[in-house]
Structure 1
Amino acid sequence: MLHALKELFDNLTAAEPELPPAQQVQLATAVLLVEVMRADAGKTPAERQAVLAQLQQRFALQGPALAQLVAQAEQSAEQAYDYHRFTASINDHCSQPEKLQIVESMWQVAYADAQLGAHEHQVISKIADLLYVTHGEYIGAKMRAKEAAGLV
C-alpha cells in the first residue's frame, strides 16, 4: 500500500521535459480538443476527424506529426487531473483572438456528431472560463461552430 502511494506521488511530481512554447501550445490545444471528444460518452469517428482537422488547420501538421500529437494529447488527457497546466500554457503564449479560436475549435469538435452532450458543454464552458474568454465571445464561438456544422 505504501509503495503504491509512493509510486503515485512520484508520478505526479515527476518533472516533464520542458517543451518550446510553440509545442506547449500545440499539445495544450490538442489536449483540450481531445477532452471535448472524451466528454461525449459515445466518441464518434466524426469527432476524432474534427480534432484532426482542427489541429491540421491550426498548426499545419500532416501525417505522422499530426498522429503523434493526437496520441500524446490522448495520453496527457488521460493522466491529467485538471486543465490548469494546459490552459496556463495557452494563456501565457496566445493572444485573446487565438484563445477564442481554440474555444471555437472545441465547439466544432462537440458539434461534429450533430449533437451536443451536456458533458461536452460543461467541459467547453469550464475551459473557456480558464482561458478568460468572455461570455459574449463564448456564445459567438458556439454560434459560429453550430452554423459551420449546419445545425442552425
Structure 2
Amino acid sequence: MLNKLTSWVKTYNEIAETPDDDSEWAATVAGLLIEAAMADGTLGDAERMAIATALEHQLSMTPDVIDEMIEKARQDYDDRVEISGITRQIRNDTDAEERAIIMEMIWMVVLADGVLHDYEAQLMRRLAGLLYIDDVASAHAANSARARLGLEA
C-alpha cells in the first residue's frame, strides 16, 4: 500500500486512481489541508476549492464523497487540540521528497485566497518542523505553489 501512496503523492498534478483502502490516508491529508485552510480563522471558498481539487485529482473521488470528506475533516478540526498525530502519520508513512510534495499541496491551500496571513505563515513554519522538511525544501514548495497559482513570489 505504501508504494501506491508514494505513487499518488508523486503524481500530484496528474489524475491518479488510488485504491479504496487508502481512504484513511486521504482523510489524514484532508485533515492537514483543513488545518491549513483554517489557520486564518475561516474556511474560505477558494481554500475549500483548493482542497476539493487536490482530493479530486489525486483520488478520483466524486464531488459528494469529497464534500463528505471535507465536512468530516472540518468537524475533526473543531474537536482536535493538536496536529502532531496527523503529522506523525504522514512523517512515518512518507519519505522527505513525498513530504515536500505534501507541503506544496498545503501551500496551495494556504495561498488559494491570494493572501498569506501571519497565522498561516506561522503554521507553515510549524508544519515544516513537524514534517521534518528543511527551510530550503519548504521555500521551494511555497514558490512552486505560488507559480502554480499564478502568484508573484
Q: TM-score, normalised by structure 1?
A: 0.79
Q: Which consecutive unaligned segments of at least 5 residues does structure 2 have?
A: 1-19
Runs of 4+, deviation exceeding 3 Å = none
Give the distance between the partners of 1:45 and 1:128, measured in 2 at CA: 25
Change (3 A) 1:43 1:67: closer
Contact preservation (8 Å) 1:21, 1:93: no
Give the distance between the partners of 2:50 and 2:104, measured in 1 at CA: 12
Aligned ranges 1:96-115 → 2 under 5 Å: 96-115=96-115
Give the distance between the partners of 1:133 and 1:149, measured in 2 at CA: 22
Give the distance between the partners of 2:120 and 2:72, measured in 1 at CA: 21
Q: Is the counterpart of residue 83 in structure 1 residue 86 in structure 2?
A: no
Q: Is the counterpart of residue 122 in structure 1 residue 118 in structure 2?
A: no
Indicate the structure (1 or 2) with the bigger Cα radius of gyration. Answer: 1
* Amino acid paired to 1:39: A
* Amino acid paired to 1:37: A
Change (3 A) 1:43 1:64: closer
Give the distance between the partners of 1:93 and 1:84, measured in 2 at CA: 14
Q: Measure how far apart 1:36 and its partner are.
A: 1.3
Give me the identity figure in percent: 25
RMSD: 1.8
Give the distance between the partners of 1:21 and 1:118, measured in 2 at CA: 37
Figure out how many residues of one structure are paired with residues of the other and give that number. Answer: 133
Q: Which consecutive unaligned segments of at least 5 residues does structure 1 have?
A: 1-19
2:94 is aligned to 94
1:147 is aligned to 147
